[in-house]
Amino acid sequence: MWEYTDKVQQHFLEPKNVGEIENPSGTGDVGSLACGDALKLTLKIDENDIIVDAKFKTFGCASAIASSSVLTEIIKGMSVDEAAKVTNEDIAEALGGLPKEKMHCSVMGREALEAAIADYRGLVPPMAEGELVCECFGVTDLEILRAVKESNLRSVEEITNFTKAGGGCGKCEDRLRELLKQGSNQILDIPMVKAQPKRMTVLQKIKKIEEVLDLEIRPALRKDGGDIELVDVDGDFVTVSLLGACKSCQKSQTTIKDYVEKKLRELVLESLIVEEEN
Amino acid sequence: MGAANERVVYMDNNATTKVAPEVFEAMKPYFTELYGNPSSMHTFGGAVSESIKKARRQVANLLGTEPEEITFTSCGTESDSTAILSALRTYPDKRHIITTRVEHPAVKSLCENLEMVTGNKYRVTRLKVDSEGLLDLEEYRAALSEDTAIVSVMWANNETGVVYPVEEMARMAKKRDILFHTDAVQAVGKVPINLGELDIDFLSLSGHKLHAPKGVGVLYTRKGTFFVPFLTGGHQEHGRRGGTENVSSIIGLGRACELAAEKMEEENVRVKALRDKLEQGLLKSIPSSMRNGHETNRLPNTANISFEFVEGEAILLHMNRYNICASSGSACTSGSLEPSHVLRAMGVPFTAAHGSIRFSLSVYNTEEEVDFVLEKMPAIIASLREMSPFWEKKG
Ligand SMILES: Cc1ncc(COP(=O)(O)O)c(C=O)c1O
């Protein structure tokens, strides 16, 4: 059993600011179902740049929920500039500390905050742009370098605790070791970039995909005694699983690429890549 | 976390069980009066040796086998390692092991280590399971080869309770002269076992899963099977396992086996009915919930249920407020970042794997407890779903 502080337990059992602000000034949407935690943070910011309200929805364990809850408490009443300086260490500290294996929950909080502020300012956070290092959890080199710098990480294990990178198959361990070296030597300065056409959030994407599955794709597959299930959406990668007659069908790959992917690209987003779960 | 009521509703019996009062009574004298070493020459120690003999007979009776085929070990994990390593040492030229993707870490990690530490000297085939957790015997048949030193397949899975056709699989291995081991840690005491009629060469069990204490296990080795000890030392256990016997626990395990035989029917009738009531009640009262594992091909005491779009650790900690004990296959509860390898092998979607809860009952559970859990769970899941960003799209 994890050793959670009283503060963590309190924020987990009676979380503050659960929900979603309507017409938010900024939205931060991070994590995914596959990763086991996800956070949607919505902010209401007044004309003086003060965060007057913050709400969250979190899928995850006790420390993920507690981190989200305490984050909303920290930033309410702050100016956007002040909030931009909140670190994951601040979140962990406000909770009286987190077990080291759970530090990634506080990092998720900071990432959501950053994404929400960027959204408010019409910028996109650059972290997701880097080179993908950990395929299991979708973590980029920039995210890792940043964690190494900010939290003074000293080992690959610590990188995993803070960012989850390397926590799956472990194939990226060598690369993590390199980044560890690089991160502790280099001064990191990653500027925010101006927003390109505004991206769809993961949640918007999932919603839209489910809609198309329900209205277009499922009815067609069911005619042949098959079915389809959405397993995960990670960036542009959409993982699905074919069920029923489709599952054993020799042509399942063709069904996915020529039919499902085509439809989703047409009706949701041109850049989607659909893969079958294996 | 503050407990709202003092009574513990224990539904985590696949993790460990309480020592039966009868077992504890049987053990007591071996801590206080009968503390002799069974290897000693004096009658004082010799009496203890007689008691161990009796325990060995009690275990053999439950398994339908002979006392000399029973070796006491320190745990299920030791029994698993002993069996597999003994086979590999018996056949140093054979480099292939067949197992499944859903084994307990006791077998899973051993096989991984055998691959890694030996620089892939050993080849491991891990049989697939389908979405209900069942094996494909054709895949198994095709995997059996001249090079196979041992097959190790669990009798019943600890997470889902799914029962595997080890009788038939052992027969198939026998036809090819291949040794067969089964990790029956979860099966013993819950399903009838009669080894005398079967082609199983090794079987592991663990005391603490059947109301004996933790830290005692058994390895059954069929008469005539080559055996290479894992722990060498003194001549205890007929030279099969060095180390002074854990006397009191062995006595306890013997008594527990006797009790298990007496309660087998209750386990399969009353406990099963409680499990079914719990499972059906939860599936009915909580939307987007589903059973993991085959419905009938399953231990009578285990229900593994996924509550989609919420995370298992969070569920468990809410249950903990009511002193309801269970387990989860979620990533967060394990300390690793990935959800249960068993559920992943079954292709349970991530949406469900992270929110899986295993309830495992025993003869000590009551209907009142099941009702209590049925009363509390819907609100727990609903409150977490209200918080989940993935829920709204279904809600
Ligand atoms: C299927 C299975 N095998 C092996 C073990 C390990 O038993 P022990 O804890 O006695 O080493 C367990 C218990 O967790 C189990 O469920």
Please state the rounded mean pLDDT for residues B96-101: 98
Give CA–CA dist B67/B367, Å, rounded.
38
Please state the rounded mean pLDDT for residues B235-263: 97
Q: Residues lining ligand 1, CB < 6 A? A: B 75-77, 104, 106, 154, 158, 183, 185-186, 206, 217
Domain contains A196: no
Are A135 and A237 in the same domain? no
Domain contains B2: no
Q: Cβ contact (<8 Å) for B393 and A38?
A: no
Are A51 and A77 in the same domain? yes
Question: Which alpha helices (DSSP H) does A1-138 contain, by range?
Answer: 6-13, 62-75, 80-84, 88-94, 103-121
CATH number, domain of A75, equals: 3.90.1010.10
Are B302 and B278 in the same domain? yes
Q: Is B181 helix (H, G, I), strand (E, B) or coil?
A: strand
Are A22 and A75 in the same domain? yes
Q: What does the pLDDT look like over B182-220, one tens digit per residue?
A: 999 999 999 999 999 999 999 999 999 999 999 999 999
Whether the pLDDT of residue B261 is over 50: the answer is yes
Q: Cβ contact (<8 Å) for A167 and B350?
A: no
Domain contains A80: yes
Contacts of A58 in chain B (CB under 8 A): 387-389
Of A126, A143, A168, which residue sits at a domain end?
A126
Domain contains A244: yes
Are A120 and A33 in the same domain? yes
Positions of B annotated as catalytic residues are 332
Which B-chain residues 70-109 have CB contacts (< 8 A) with chain A? none
Give CA–CA dist A59/B390, Å, rounded.
7
Residue from A99, A103, A91, A105 nearest A4 by CA: A99
Contacts of A232 in chain B (CB under 8 A): 349-350
State which of B14, B17, B77, B102 you would mutate to test the pocket of ligand 1, scoring each by most atoms of that ligand within 8 A of its C-beta. Answer: B77
For B352, half-sphere exposure in the C-beta direction (CA atoms, 13 angstrom radius) is 22
- Residue A246 labelled as part of a binding site: no
Give CA–CA dist A38/A41, Å, rounded.
10
Sheet holding A237-244, edge to edge: A226-234, A237-244, A273-276
**Distance, first Cα to last Cα, chain A:** 32
Whether the pLDDT of residue B395 is over 60: the answer is no
Contacts of A20 in chain B (CB under 8 A): 392
Q: What does the pLDDT look like over B20-61, one tens digit per residue?
A: 999 999 999 999 999 999 999 999 999 999 999 999 999 999
Are B231 and B329 in the same domain? no
The H or E element containing residue A30 is: strand A26-32
Are A174 and A243 in the same domain? no
Cα distance from B197 to chain A (closest Cα, Å)? 37
Cα distance from B165 to chain A (closest Cα, Å)? 24
**Distance, first Cα to last Cα, chain B:** 30
Please state the rounded mean pLDDT for residues B104-122: 90
Question: Closest ligand 1 atom to the C-alpha of B157?
Answer: 1
Which B-chain residues 302-321 have CB contacts (< 8 A) with chain A? 309-314, 317-318, 321
Sheet holding A37-45, edge to edge: A26-32, A37-45, A51-59
Please state the rounded mean pLDDT for residues B259-277: 97
Are A95 and A22 in the same domain? yes
Are B235 and B269 in the same domain? no
Are A78 and A141 in the same domain? no
Of B204, B234, B259, which residue sits at a domain end?
B259
Show the tokens assigned to B159. Answer: 């997470």
Are B280 and B370 in the same domain? yes
Cα dihedral sign, B288-B291-B292-B294:
negative
Cα dihedral sign, A111-A112-A118-A121:
negative
Q: Cβ contact (<8 Å) for B389 and A160?
A: no
Are B227 and B322 in the same domain? no
Residue from A267, A262, A265, A220 nearest A244 by CA: A220
Is the Cβ–Cβ distance between B289 and B308 less than 8 Å?
yes
Domain contains A81: yes
Domain contains B380: yes
CATH number, domain of B140, equals: 3.40.640.10
Are B179 and B267 in the same domain? no
Where in the sequence is the domain holding B353, given as residue range(s)? Answer: 9-18+263-394
Give CA–CA dist B20/B43, Å, rounded.
30
Cα distance from B53 to chain A (closest Cα, Å)? 39
Average pLDDT of chain B? Answer: 94
Domain contains B59: yes
Are B250 and B382 in the same domain? no
pLDDT tier for residue B172 given thresholds of 50, 70 and 90: very high
- Residue A134 labelled as part of a binding site: yes
B395 in contact with A, Cβ within 8 Å: no
Whether the pLDDT of residue B393 is over 70: the answer is no
The predicted structure's pLDDT at residue B82: 98
Are A90 and A142 in the same domain? no
Distances, alpha carbon B298 to alpha carbons B103, B105, B130, B295, B360, in Å = 15, 20, 14, 7, 12
CB pairs under 8 A between A and B: 97
- pTM to 2 decimal places: 0.82
Are B83 and B215 in the same domain? yes
Give the A-side interface with B, CB within 8 Å. 2, 9, 12-13, 15, 18, 20, 29, 33-40, 57-65, 101-102, 136-137, 160, 164, 167-168, 203, 206-207, 210, 229, 231-232, 241, 277
Mean pLDDT per segment of 10 residues, for chain A of length 278 residues? 89 95 94 82 96 96 94 96 94 94 89 93 75 85 86 87 84 89 68 55 82 85 86 86 76 81 84 84
Domain contains B106: yes
Domain contains B3: no
Whether the pLDDT of residue B4 is over 60: the answer is no
Is the Cβ–Cβ distance between B35 and B44 less than 8 Å?
no
The predicted structure's pLDDT at residue A192: 55
Q: Cβ contact (<8 Å) for B309 and A59?
A: yes
Tracing tokens 């017409």 back to the chain, one arrives at: A23
Are B273 and B252 in the same domain? no
CATH number, domain of B275, equals: 3.90.1150.10
The better pLDDT of the pair A155, B392 is held by A155
Domain tally for chain A? 3
Are B124 and B41 in the same domain? yes
Q: Cβ contact (<8 Å) for A29 and B337?
A: no
What is the DSSP secondary-structure string of B256-292?
HHHHHHHHHHHIIIIIHHHHHHHHHHHHHHSSSEEE-
The predicted structure's pLDDT at residue A193: 55
Domain contains A197: no
- The closest CB to that of B350, out of A61, A160, A232, belongs to A232
Q: If you count them, how many residues does chain A have? A: 278
Where in the sequence is the domain holding A136, given as residue range(s)? Answer: 130-183
Q: If you count them, how many residues does chain B have? A: 395
Distances, alpha carbon A95 to alpha carbons A30, A111, B16, B124, in Å = 21, 17, 33, 45
Of B259, B294, B313, which residue sits at a domain end?
B259
Q: Cβ contact (<8 Å) for A59 and B347?
A: no
Of B259, B277, B302, which residue sits at a domain end?
B259
Q: Is B86 helix (H, G, I), strand (E, B) or coil?
A: helix
Of A126, A153, A173, which residue sits at a domain end?
A126
Residue from B68, B135, B57 nearest B100 by CA: B135
Positions of A annotated as catalytic residues are 35, 105
- Residue A249 labelled as part of a binding site: no
The predicted structure's pLDDT at residue B251: 98
Of A84, A110, A126, which residue sits at a domain end?
A126
pLDDT tier for residue B1 given thresholds of 50, 70 and 90: very low
Interface test with A, best of B1, B307, B313 (most A CBs within 10 A): B313
Are A26 and A71 in the same domain? yes
What is the DSSP secondary-structure string of B352-367?
HHTTEEEEE--TT--H
Show the tokens assigned to B75. Answer: 């745990």
Burial B267-304 (b: 16+ CB within 10 A, else e): bbebbbebbeebbebbeeebebbebbbbeebbbbbbbb
Q: What does the pLDDT look like over B67-86, one tens digit per residue?
A: 999 999 999 999 999 999 99
Ligand 1: centre distance to CA B261 (Å): 20
Domain contains B1: no
Are B253 and B281 in the same domain? no
Give CA–CA dist A60/A55, Å, rounded.
16
Cα distance from B357 to chain A (closest Cα, Å)? 14
Whether the pLDDT of residue B148 is over 60: the answer is yes
Are B236 and B280 in the same domain? no
Domain tally for chain B? 2
Cα dihedral sign, A180-A181-A185-A190:
negative
Are A22 and A112 in the same domain? yes
Domain contains A195: no
The better pLDDT of the pair B305, A163 is held by B305
Q: What does the pLDDT look like over B369-388, one tens digit per residue?
A: 999 999 999 999 999 999 99
Q: Cβ contact (<8 Å) for B314 and A57?
A: no
Are A250 and A156 in the same domain? no
